[in-house]
Chains A and B, each alone.
Chain A
Amino acid sequence: MEEKKKIYGDNIAIEVNDLWIGYKNIQAYSIKKSLLRLKKVHVEEFQAVRGVSFQVPEGQILGIIGKNGSGKSTMLKALAGIFSPDKGNIDLRGHSVSLLSIGVGFQKEVTGRENILLSGMLLGFSEEEVRAKMPQIIEFADLGKFIDMPVKTYSSGMYSKLAFSITAILETEIMLIDEVLSVGDAKFKKKSYRKMKELISDRNRTVVIVSHSEKTLSELCDKVMWMHEGEIKRIGDPEEVLAEYEEFMQ
């Protein structure tokens, strides 16, 4: 962390400049369809994120709120590098990043244990690093003998427990959280929420949380950003922004 500060001269972890992300022209089509219908298909353009700029200093917790379809999740995916911006840029200053959201990235045929290795390596850790943390992850996930069974045999709860454990134990410098603060049954929910709070409040970690829960955001965040139709409506102190948002929603 100190090293990065030296290179960049400031302590910014995430810098977003004039970010535009759209869904356009890229619907899947079939050869059959295009043969049968010769006239050009009308393609609707939809801009999910429109010219958003902001910075998150290292160690800060940024909450994002906004109604459905306001571009929150799209932006989170762009921060994780899964979506590419159509315009503008995102600079993470070389920090490692992971996205925690509903639905997980596993190879279904492969066992839970192997999937821990694979997911960990995709998050940028070496095989040895993941192996070293493996017992901790397995213990936290608490899946019993299922850890050596193919992931396709898992229930949805077990799925999310494993995914949560991987991201929670293999700590990245930037964590992006899409709604998921706790998963699984009542017992695991408590445990995961506690772990999450511990991770989030670590002053070395930069966190971006997308949530609809005003309570969570005001409790956890240093700053809240309110997105509306792809633009930033307000960004600033959680209490003020959330109060305004609540008023707006009514």
Chain B
Amino acid sequence: MKRFVEDVKKYFDYEVRSAKSVLKTEVANSYLNWIWWILDPLLSMMVYYLVFGIVFKAREPHFIPFLFVGQTMWGFFSKNVTQSVKMIKRNKSIVAKVYIPKFVLLFSNMMVNGVKMMISWIIVLIMMMFFKVHISAYVICYIPILMILVLITFAVCIILMHFGVFLEDLGNVVSIVMQLMFYMSGILYSIEGRMGDYPFAAKLMTYGNPMALLIRDMRNVLLYGQAPAWKALGIWTLVGIFFAFIGVRTIYKNENSYVKVI
């Protein structure tokens, strides 16, 4: 644990530098530069709006910001998780040349996706103003919910990163699970609103899946002026800390063997 804190401090500058480089390169390599960071969430949200808002006539209030909140949080989670599986292999050239605590690679990648997520949040804010969403004091809960999202993402990523080194086809499994999770997390619909006839199933879907819970609570505090489910969030925070701890320990124990496998 002490080593973890020391390494986080020691490599923080590197993580920031590395994230900056990646972002800079993305800007330099694409025709529309950073406009993509805005267009990307905006366009995919438009597709969802067309299909679910217009064709399926969604009845969730403030449907556009509703979609966008879900999309923003899911985008951060799924990008990090999918990329973490091949993280070590993708950075083989670095890993094989110099010692680096392997979670540093994860942190750096999370920073890249974090910057993109922040841009997406700015769009959410603009939309909330545009659609005249009533803002309550619960808005402050945005910060703890976001922190839990980062924690849960890190915990999932660090464990997948470890197994990704040894399991060649983990990427396939993860992409299927992520697809299932996408539809189960209530990104396009409100779980409780749609599953009202099956209250137990709705509860299970919301509280058993941290992403569903985080997305619902984020919408509650931002759009609907409702309190988050503190107890459930607290439990998931502990679960997140537990798995992050296990993950960091596993990484420390095994990281120097990775290079023998990749």
Q: Write the residues of chain A forming the contact surface with B, with a CB cutoff of 8 angstroms.
A: 23, 26-32, 77, 80-84, 98-99, 101, 103-111, 114-115, 117-119, 121-123, 126-127, 150
Looking at the assembled complex, report how far the CB atom of A159 sits from the nearest CB atom of chain B, in whole angstroms: 10
Taken residue by residue from 51 to 81, chain B's Cβ proximity to chain A (1 for < 8 Å, 0 otherwise) reads as: 0000000000000000000000000000000
Contact of A109 with B22 in the complex, beta carbons under 8 Å: yes
Contact of B93 with A82 in the complex, beta carbons under 8 Å: no
- The CA of A115 and the CA of B259, in the complex, are separated in Å by 21
Contact of A105 with B96 in the complex, beta carbons under 8 Å: yes
Contact of A31 with B169 in the complex, beta carbons under 8 Å: yes
Residue on A with the closest CB to B166?
A28
Is B201's CB within 8 Å of the partner chain A?
Answer: no
Looking at the assembled complex, report how far the CB atom of B46 sits from the nearest CB atom of chain A, in whole angstroms: 29
Extra inter-chain contacts (7) besides given A28-B262, A81-B99, A106-B93, CB under 8 Å: A30-B167, A32-B169, A82-B98, A105-B95, A105-B97, A114-B24, A118-B18
Q: Name the A residues within 8 Å of B21 (CB-CB).
A: 107, 110-111, 114-115, 117-118
| A28 partner, pick from B17, B98, B259, B261, beta carbons under 8 A | B261
Residue on B with the closest CB to A81?
B99
- The CA of A82 and the CA of B259, in the complex, are separated in Å by 8
- The CA of A126 and the CA of B13, in the complex, are separated in Å by 8
Is B179's CB within 8 Å of the partner chain A?
Answer: no
Chain B interface mostly? helix
Residue on A with the closest CB to B97?
A105
- The CA of A240 and the CA of B257, in the complex, are separated in Å by 36
Interface size range on B against A: 20 to 34
Contact of A80 with B99 in the complex, beta carbons under 8 Å: yes
- The CA of A77 and the CA of B95, in the complex, are separated in Å by 11
Is B256's CB within 8 Å of the partner chain A?
Answer: yes
Contact of A110 with B99 in the complex, beta carbons under 8 Å: no
State which residues 1-37 of B face A: CB under 8 Å. Answer: 13-14, 17-18, 21-22, 24-25, 28-29
Contact of A82 with B97 in the complex, beta carbons under 8 Å: yes
Using A82-B96, A103-B96 as known contacts, say yes or no to A121 and B169 having CB atoms under 8 A apart. Answer: no
Residue on B with the closest CB to A48?
B260
Using A29-B166, A30-B168, A114-B21 as known contacts, say yes or no to A84 and B256 having CB atoms under 8 A apart. Answer: yes
Q: Name the A residues within 8 Å of B24 (CB-CB).
A: 110, 114
Contact of A110 with B97 in the complex, beta carbons under 8 Å: no
Q: Name 22 interchain pairs, CB-CB below 8 A, sorted by A.
A: A26-B260, A26-B261, A28-B165, A28-B167, A28-B261, A29-B168, A30-B168, A80-B98, A82-B99, A83-B259, A104-B93, A104-B97, A107-B18, A107-B93, A108-B93, A109-B22, A110-B22, A110-B24, A110-B25, A118-B17, A121-B13, A122-B98
Q: Name the A residues within 8 Å of B28 (CB-CB).
A: 111
Q: Name the B residues within 8 Å of A103 (CB-CB).
A: 93, 96-97
Q: Name the B residues within 8 Å of A30 (CB-CB).
A: 167-169
Looking at the assembled complex, report how far the CB atom of B78 sits from the nearest CB atom of chain A, in whole angstroms: 21
Looking at the assembled complex, report how far the CB atom of A193 sits from the nearest CB atom of chain B, in whole angstroms: 22
Looking at the assembled complex, report how far the CB atom of B225 sits from the nearest CB atom of chain A, in whole angstroms: 44
Looking at the assembled complex, report how far the CB atom of B164 sits from the nearest CB atom of chain A, in whole angstroms: 10
- The CA of A126 and the CA of B166, in the complex, are separated in Å by 33
Among B13, B14, B91, B255, chain A packs the most CB atoms within 10 A around the CB of: B14
Q: Name the B residues within 8 Å of A114 (CB-CB).
A: 21, 24-25
Contact of A31 with B173 in the complex, beta carbons under 8 Å: yes
Contact of A122 with B100 in the complex, beta carbons under 8 Å: yes
Looking at the assembled complex, report how far the CB atom of A24 sits from the nearest CB atom of chain B, in whole angstroms: 9
Among B18, B98, B169, B255, chain A packs the most CB atoms within 10 A around the CB of: B98
